[in-house]
Structure 1
Amino acid sequence: MGLDARTQLTAKFLTQHELAELLRLPERTLEDWRLTRSGTPYLNLGRHVRNDVQDVLAWVQEHRRG
């Protein structure tokens, strides 16, 4: 029983609210980051903004200090 590419796709996309909870930041901060292009990577899916959780975790690692 093999899995094809469609069944292996397990990307998880977060809403702005979910991302704010994950990072423990105000949603307004995430909005400001998008305006200044200084925050986490994001996708525009029509009118909806989504963040791939793997991209967010990689971004966090890149911005780690100490």
Structure 2
Amino acid sequence: MSHSIDLSRHPRRIDLDAPLHRKAGPTAHAMRPVERAEEPQTPQTCPAPRYLTNNEAAAFLRLSPRTLEKQRVIGGGPRFHKFGRRVMYALTDLEAWASERSFETTFDPEYIDRHPGAQRDDQ
């Protein structure tokens, strides 16, 4: 007893008008981009601020999640938001906090003012 399917009773139907099977002709060139229906243009709006969890923010800054937790308590870390019990960081706040900590050299006067340990060699 054979369990093969007789495909001759089920002829395969091919839609020749489908884009997959349509050949390039005088009105449709193979290299010409397909024209799409006009879509209504929506005005560009500013995207809503994206919020990150403590672990996501730490990964973004390449810090330990515990470091961010400590900085929330003692200060000095990026601004954070509380939504109920949940602590979230806005991506813009993380980027602003990181850019405030950019210096050209360790002899930069701003660096010395912000890092009291940098002045201990002078004493």
Q: TM-score range by the shorter chain?
A: 0.7 to 0.9
**Identity of matched residues, %:** 33
Aligned partner letter, 2:69:
E
Q: How much does 1:10 deviate?
A: 2.0
Q: Deviations over 1:25-65 (max 9, x none)?
A: 11110000000121011001110000000111011111112
Deviation at 1:2, TM superposition (A): 5.5
TM-score, normalising length from structure 1?
A: 0.83
More contact order relative to length (CA 8 Å, sep ≥ 6):
1
1:17 aligns with 2:71: no
Q: Distance in 1 between matches of 2:75 and 2:50?
A: 22
Task: Give the unaligned 5+ runs of structure 1.
Answer: none
User: Which structure has more helix as a fraction of its residues?
Assistant: 1
2:94 corresponds to: 56
- RMSD value over aligned CA atoms? 1.7
- AA partner of residue 70 (structure 2): D
Secondary structure of the 1:51 match is: strand
SS of alignment partner, residue 102 of structure 2 = coil
Max Rg structure:
2
Structure 1 runs (4+) deviating above 3 angstroms are: none
Q: Distance in 2 between matches of 1:8 and 1:59?
A: 21
TM-score under structure 2 normalisation? 0.47
More strand by share: 1
- 2: CA distance, partners of 1:2 / 1:21: 34
SS state of the match for residue 44, structure 1?
Answer: strand
